[in-house]
Structure 1
């Protein structure tokens, strides 16, 4: 009959006396030292009676002087409780659970070692065998670095996609994407939808030939065949279906995700000279009557013009009283708000959902949301601001419950609505906790590595863990 499995779940030798014979202490010592990176012989109180290393990787760290020391004194402060448990769990019939212990080293920082213990005889010494985990730690660090690099690349990709989307949507010319295999529209910008009188749902999947008259549709097929052969093709004198309007077509071939697509641009004929004048007058009339405040400033942030809604918001009766005045006289809790807004405009060209306040000339204070755009090529170059009063729908600074924000995204939404002093005072603990949680996640709950990543001493890091109630140090098993 086979012996039952011991409590550690491992299958031991069936008859070690018969298979191994009489193994003396010297042979056993060589076997233990050769099978582990470090081996310790301890008395029942945890004093190191002897030590052996399986290679130069550990012996070169200066650990040979451990003989005669308490095992607890050779480890970092957070590992002492693990050593106590390893000593207490040492039995004669099975090895203890493996636990990671960190040894301080003057040469290479902390050295992580995975230990298991077992007692030799009822009253004999305790044998602790360890495996050097530095190679695993190096792999973990490389994995974290690779993940961080991927996140940076993903961020850059998202920024590029955002710029493409913005350019695609704001283009005044009709532009759309066509699948080269089916010659059906996959994506169209608003200018295209306005030209063909279709909704986004109707335009998706529409055959490109359907937006031209039959005679022109046949020529469109020839243009696409030429573009597929040479990469680009242009044609003029095509007529749109329905309106019969004459337009030109520019087609460029590109590949994406192993499929060919056409970037198609409809070239509209120049409008009569009077049309832009009428359109501009209509646009200015619409802006003047908008319920949202509109104001245009020069690059020095001096007001050039504004609509009636802006005059009402700043409690000024006439445009002449605001023209030439500094916008920060009314917009922002302080000049810092407008400085941040203008800096973002100079860097990105446009800003949306910027929360701040407008201070009226008669003492009124209104919570507002600002959208702005930079026009560097204007005559003169200027900034345009759209200001919408949102005081009735904005929540209180920290929510009706009075609880702190729970994420960085929520914190950034409060910038411009709450003073910096108040934000710092109320959210310092939240930011520290989030940083610690992120570091623990990145290091797979390795507290020593997390403390090093955050630039904290181990004592400070463990004090913050206790303060925020993150993890149970007493139950940590490495």
Structure 2
């Protein structure tokens, strides 16, 4: 440590008050110790430490070593031990105990006073430095996480780029030169692929297509997107070119995906067998209709249009299947609910209502399919109204058929006939609802406008269904 050259001349005579002020200003904490290491006085340069150390009143008259954390006591003993050079004080990191028992990191150095055995210990608050170090560590960890995510993203990109079946070219949007070509592109262009990197992408195409490639690059620079188009390469192979642009390091990068135009089908990329199946579905005698998960109609074949009494498919779009299907509106929801939970429905009998009022007895089978990540429902609708069915038997209520009720006219009071007829109608409605919903009692209750408890009571009354199962459900 370099001391003042002429302290007496420079500082002049200093009394005790001036010396105390200098000592207090020289550090965040200043402690005066006697020859035994007991604290005789203490000063703080800021109010925060003054409050956290309980105004220092608990320290007075106590050995300094008792006011520090246990892990710091060996350091205090070393500082109090004789033999240190007073001109070269050594700074030590010591955890000082605050008023609440919390350790506060301080950097201490001891300096002898003029009076024999007296020392002044100067302390600097290390918390701002610790907080700065902590923030530095957090920032470093955040940067490391960011680099890790970038490396993972690059790995995924490289894997997709290398394994993609379509030929892919990465083109610099400003210069129009090829930056990268995946293995599929190298196979497509053959020996000429080695000369692609660093050359204008238009050179990879036939002369007749180069103008279209230049126009595509210009459109990407100005609009950021372009429609797919066809182009030919040097060996006259016809390709479909799909281009996408994105920004990277303040520059424009274009991704060109090249696929043989023969693979692109007029029905959205279906193979020949797929197109044949589509034509069969369009000409099938049974109605076929596709809806979204909410029952909104997306498309239908000609047979379904005939059943729905509509001249054109455009009139179906925007409509829901509920408009045409079921004796009641709830039937469509029951069918859709079963599709959502089970994925398929077979031979569901119901009624199809035409736009002009006609009604057909139909049998429906349905399935759930995925289309581009979206769920769709496909329905096959078959007209079964021409099938021969045996005449329905007369239903009985409490041992009486409808014919027997009719025979009672004039023999029993009208109110009794009305009551028994109402019971017969109620039972018929409950049986029909259970048949429509395939014995789904929650849906049947909703269809009839009853609570589940009311429906169970009526099932008990008429002796319908599995009463033991109902008792278990209610229990």
2:14 to 23, 36, 39: 23
Provide the residue aligned with 1:205 in structure 2: 198
Q: What CA distance in whole angstroms lies between the structure 1 residues aligned with 2:142 and 2:20?
A: 46
The answer to whether the 8 A contact 2:205-2:233 is kept is yes
The answer to whether the 8 A contact 1:46-1:70 is kept is yes
Shift of 1:128: 0.6
Shift of 1:201: 5.8
Shift of 1:91: 5.5
- Larger gyration radius, structure 1 or structure 2: 2
The answer to whether the 8 A contact 1:92-1:122 is kept is no
Provide the residue aligned with 1:133 in structure 2: 126
Q: Secondary structure at the match of 1:169?
A: helix
Q: Secondary structure at the match of 1:232?
A: coil
Provide the residue aligned with 2:161 in structure 1: 168
Provide the residue aligned with 1:270 in structure 2: 262
| Count of aligned pairs between the two proteins | 269
Provide the residue aligned with 1:87 in structure 2: 80
Change in CA separation of 1:206 and 1:95 when aligned onto 2, cut-off 3 Å:
same
1:75 to 52, 65, 68: 68
Unaligned runs of 5+ in 1: 1-7, 278-375, 378-478
Q: What CA distance in whole angstroms lies between the structure 1 residues aligned with 2:103 and 2:57?
A: 16
Provide the residue aligned with 1:284 in structure 2: none
Provide the residue aligned with 2:109 in structure 1: 116
Q: What CA distance in whole angstroms lies between the structure 2 residues aligned with 1:221 and 1:113?
A: 69
Provide the residue aligned with 2:377 in structure 1: none
Shift of 1:89: 6.8
Q: What CA distance in whole angstroms lies between the structure 2 residues aligned with 1:237 and 1:19?
A: 91
Unaligned runs of 5+ in 2: 266-270, 273-369, 372-475
The answer to whether the 8 A contact 2:196-2:204 is kept is no
Provide the residue aligned with 1:104 in structure 2: 97
Query: Deviations for 1:225-270, whole angstroms, at most 9, x for unmatched residues?
Result: 222222222453421113x111122222222101122111113223
Shift of 1:135: 1.8
Query: Deviations for 1:188-243, whole angstroms, at most 9, x for unmatched residues?
Result: 2221111112598654323312321222223322222222222222453421113x
Matches within 5 A, 1:243-282: 244-271=236-263
Q: Secondary structure at the match of 1:65?
A: coil
Shift of 1:71: 1.9
Matches within 5 A, 1:144-155: 144-155=137-148
Change in CA separation of 1:109 and 1:69 when aligned onto 2, cut-off 3 Å:
same
Provide the residue aligned with 2:466 in structure 1: none
Change in CA separation of 1:157 and 1:191 when aligned onto 2, cut-off 3 Å:
same
Q: What CA distance in whole angstroms lies between the structure 2 residues aligned with 1:137 and 1:89?
A: 31
Q: What CA distance in whole angstroms lies between the structure 1 residues aligned with 2:263 and 2:74?
A: 82
Change in CA separation of 1:72 and 1:225 when aligned onto 2, cut-off 3 Å:
same
2:184 to 188, 191, 212: 191
- Once the two structures are overlaid, the 10-residue window that deviates more, 78-87 or 112-121, is 78-87
The answer to whether the 8 A contact 1:41-1:51 is kept is yes
Q: Secondary structure at the match of 2:107?
A: strand
Shift of 1:119: 1.1
The answer to whether the 8 A contact 2:96-2:105 is kept is yes
Structure 2 residue 38 is the aligned partner of structure 1 residue 34 = no
Q: What CA distance in whole angstroms lies between the structure 1 residues aligned with 2:155 and 2:192?
A: 22
Shift of 1:122: 7.4
Q: TM-score, with normalisation over the residues of structure 2?
A: 0.51
Q: Secondary structure at the match of 1:121?
A: coil
Structure 2 residue 226 is the aligned partner of structure 1 residue 233 = yes
Change in CA separation of 1:146 and 1:106 when aligned onto 2, cut-off 3 Å:
farther
Change in CA separation of 1:132 and 1:108 when aligned onto 2, cut-off 3 Å:
farther
Q: What CA distance in whole angstroms lies between the structure 2 residues aligned with 1:198 and 1:230?
A: 34
Q: What CA distance in whole angstroms lies between the structure 1 residues aligned with 2:51 and 2:256?
A: 68
Shift of 1:92: 7.3
The answer to whether the 8 A contact 2:185-2:193 is kept is no
Q: Determine which structure has greater relative contact order: mean sequence separation of CA pairs < 8 Å that are 6+ residues apart, divided by chain length.
A: 1
Q: TM-score, with normalisation over the residues of structure 1?
A: 0.51
Q: Secondary structure at the match of 1:270?
A: helix
Q: What CA distance in whole angstroms lies between the structure 2 residues aligned with 1:199 and 1:89?
A: 85
Query: Deviations for 1:42-73, whole angstroms, at most 9, x for unmatched residues?
Result: 23342222222223222212243112222222
Q: Secondary structure at the match of 2:174?
A: coil
Cα RMSD (Å) of the superposition? 3.1
The answer to whether the 8 A contact 1:90-1:118 is kept is no
Q: What CA distance in whole angstroms lies between the structure 1 residues aligned with 2:252 and 2:180?
A: 14
Provide the residue aligned with 2:45 in structure 1: 54
The answer to whether the 8 A contact 1:90-1:117 is kept is no
Q: What CA distance in whole angstroms lies between the structure 1 residues aligned with 2:36 and 2:103?
A: 24
